[in-house]
């Protein structure tokens, strides 16, 4: 079974900045790994505390825009990434998760009647991405650390779809460059998450267990460009995805790492008590789906998702 853990960011967003209570809660709730966000220092003492509690450190995550036009900001982020690569190597943490950056997301108003009047085409970032991230991936590879790119479209990040992943990985040409696979981002882009797992199985170095709910009544009225009110982040089990099928495909592709719950669900947020109730609900759903995937590996189809979805908390 894949270890189940979570990203520590949700605690910092709810006022918990110290590691000790997060570790204590993780152990009490029966989690098996932690993903350390930027607010938790990747020090030997912190990692030892986590491991002494019987938990693994699945990865270090630092999703910031290294391609920022603000040169001071970009340099600061690069320095932070180098620090984390070194810490991961020293502390035997296998993966550092990054975003791929965005050099210039602003629309080109001179490009009449084209996509670029809404947002510059993401692939325009390929050359600055290779120039900036290529050396970082090489340094990480020499240190025995893999770089996993998160593919969230709503931050400094151009690497948002399987089409773009293929272009980037072909150019980097380094087996230590891969994905922090988060299927929730594919749901609201209407990309086939299951096909993406199968195509990029050898590049999935880490998994964010997060889901998305689509409000189709709002979508029918607003379309996809008015705003983002037609979708919302959800914990696994409260959205659109069939987690039994996903887990089956991940295992079939050789993934044996953590399923790290990235808690960004507003219905289970606002207090530590709500956060932990949400984490436990997601944990239980992932465990059920993992057992179902093992027992019924050949039977999962996209149509099964509705049968495995929990009722959204009102």
pLDDT digit string, tens, across residues 46-73: 999 999 999 999 999 999 999 999 999 9
Residue 85 pLDDT level (bands cut at 50, 70, 90): very high
Separation between Cα atoms, residue 258 and residue 173, nearest integer Å: 25
What was the pLDDT predicted at 111? 80
- Residue 214 has a pLDDT of 98
List all residues 6 or more positions away from 119 whose beta carbon is below 8 Å from its beta carbon: 105, 106, 107
Contact status, residue 4 vs residue 31, Cβ threshold 8 Å: yes
At residue 299, the pLDDT reads 63
Q: What is the average pLDDT across 261-273? A: 97
Residue 1, pLDDT > 70, answer: yes
| pLDDT at residue 95 tops 60 | yes
pTM for this model (two decimals): 0.93
Question: Could you tell me the CA-to-CA distances from 217 to 212, 275, 306 in Å, in that order?
Answer: 15, 28, 18
Q: C-alpha angle 264/265/271, rounded to 5°?
A: 90
Confidence band, pLDDT 50/70/90 cuts, at residue 115: confident
Q: For position 301, what pLDDT does the model report?
A: 53
**Is residue 298 over pLDDT 60?**
no
CATH of 4-308 among 3.20.20.150, 3.40.50.720, 2.130.10.30, 3.40.309.10: 3.20.20.150
Q: Does pLDDT of 108 surpass 90?
A: no
Continuous H helices in the chain: 9-13, 19-28, 44-52, 71-91, 126-142, 162-172, 183-187, 193-199, 216-222, 243-252, 272-295, 305-308
pLDDT score of 305: 45
Mean pLDDT of the chain: 93
């Amino acid at each position: 079974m894949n270890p189940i853990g979570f990203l520590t960011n949700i605690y910092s967003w709810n006022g918990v900045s110290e590691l000790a209570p997060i570790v204590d809660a993780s152990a009490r709730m029966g989690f098996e790994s932690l993903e350390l966000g930027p607010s938790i220092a990747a020090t030997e003492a912190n990692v030892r505390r986590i491991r002494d509690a019987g938990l693994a450190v699945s990865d270090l995550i630092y999703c910031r825009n290294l391609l920022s036009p603000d040169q001071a900001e970009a340099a600061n982020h690069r320095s932070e990434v180098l620090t984390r690569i070194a810490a991961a190597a020293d502390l035997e943490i296998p993966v550092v998760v990054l975003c791929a950056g965005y050099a210039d997301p602003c629309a080109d108003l001179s490009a009449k009647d084209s996509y670029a009047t809404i947002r510059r085409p993401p692939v325009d970032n390929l050359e600055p991405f290779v120039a900036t991230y290529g050396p970082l991936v090489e340094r990480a590879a020499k240190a025995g650390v893999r770089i996993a790119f998160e593919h969230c479209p709503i931050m400094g990040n151009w690497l948002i779809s399987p089409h773009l992943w293929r272009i980037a990985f072909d150019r980097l040409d380094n087996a230590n460059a891969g994905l922090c696979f988060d299927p929730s981002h594919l749901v609201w882009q209407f990309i086939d998450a299951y096909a993406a797992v199968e195509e990029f199985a050898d590049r999935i170095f880490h998994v964010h267990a997060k889901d998305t709910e689509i409000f189709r009544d709002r979508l029918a009225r607003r379309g996809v460009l008015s705003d983002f009110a037609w979708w919302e982040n959800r914990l696994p089990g409260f959205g659109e995805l069939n987690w039994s099928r996903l887990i089956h495909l991940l295992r079939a592709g050789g993934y044996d790492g953590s399923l790290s719950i990235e808690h960004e669900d507003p219905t289970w947020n606002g207090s530590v008590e709500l956060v932990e109730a949400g984490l436990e609900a997601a944990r239980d759903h992932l465990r059920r789906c993992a057992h179902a995937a093992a027992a019924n590996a050949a039977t999962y189809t996209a149509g099964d998702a509705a049968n495995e979805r929990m009722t959204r908390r009102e």
